[in-house]
Each structure stands twice: as structure tokens, then as C-alpha cells.
Amino acid sequence: MKALAIMIPVVCLIFMGKGYAADDDAAFFTKSVMPILTDNCIKCHGADRQKGHLRLDSRDAVLKGGKSGPAIVVGKPDDSILIKAIRYTDDDLQMPPKKQLSDDQVKVLVDWVTRGAPWAADDSSPNAQPKPDQPKQP
């Protein structure tokens, strides 16, 4: 009985700690990751346009990926196509195409993938169904 009295608070603390971590991850995504995606990626890989059939506007879409496969491998930045593209180490795969992200922006996205690619808790992004490449309507 004494062991149970000790175990219950310990288990509660473990679960509470996980909740805080999830909150921290959601805040990290909202504050650090989403601005990078919005400013550099969503124009070509969002709801209106999906170059390479890739959307980067929801976690499901990022995990699903596009023509080249999943954009990320959760927890493995070195195996993730998105990270390879933003690092500019492959002459055939460099994103964004016109201007390389800063070293700090690359570090944020690497950290995001390493953390498991958490998304904002209130993610209400649409279903991640890719549309064919098409010009944006005026």
C-alpha cells in the first residue's frame, strides 16, 4: 500500500511533465518553425499550390510528402529530404530555390525534426490532399 501511495504521485508527475513538454513543443513550433515555413515555403507548398505535390502547411502533409516521398523522417534530420534541401548540399535539391535559409533557420528546422516535428496544438489545417502543380489564380 505504501508503494502505491508513492507511485501515484510519481506517475502523475511523469504525465504532467509530458504535458509541459508538449506545450513547449507547440510553442516552439508556433514561434520558431511556422514563421520559417510561412515566409519561405508555403507559397509553393501550401493550400493554393503544391510544387512536387508537396504541402508543408500541416503535419500530416509534411509526413506524407510529395513526389519524392515523405518530406521528413521524424527524429532523423539527416534522413529527411526537407533538411537535405535546405542545407543546399545537393546541387539538384535546394530549397528555397532563390535564397538559402540562414544558418539559424536551418538549425531551427533541424531541431524541429529532431524533436519529432511537433505541430501547434490547435492545428486546423485542411486535409493534406495534394493538388497538381498549377499556377496561382489571379
Segment holding 21, helix H or strand E = helix 2-28
Q: Which of 82, 78, 87, 89 is nearest to 114 (CA)?
A: 78
Angle value at C-alpha 115, between 111 and 116, nearest 5 degrees: 125
Residue matched to cell numbers 518553425 = 33
Per-residue pLDDT tens, the chain, 138 aa: give them.
Answer: 555 455 455 444 444 444 446 679 899 999 999 999 999 999 999 999 999 999 999 999 999 999 999 999 999 999 999 999 999 999 999 999 999 999 999 999 999 999 999 998 655 444 433 334 444 444
Residue matched to cell numbers 495534394 = 130
Angle value at C-alpha 135, between 132 and 137, nearest 5 degrees: 115
SS3 state of residue 45:
strand
**Contact between residue 115 and residue 24 where contact means Cβ atoms under 8 Å apart:** no
Neighbours of 128 (CB within 10 A): 19
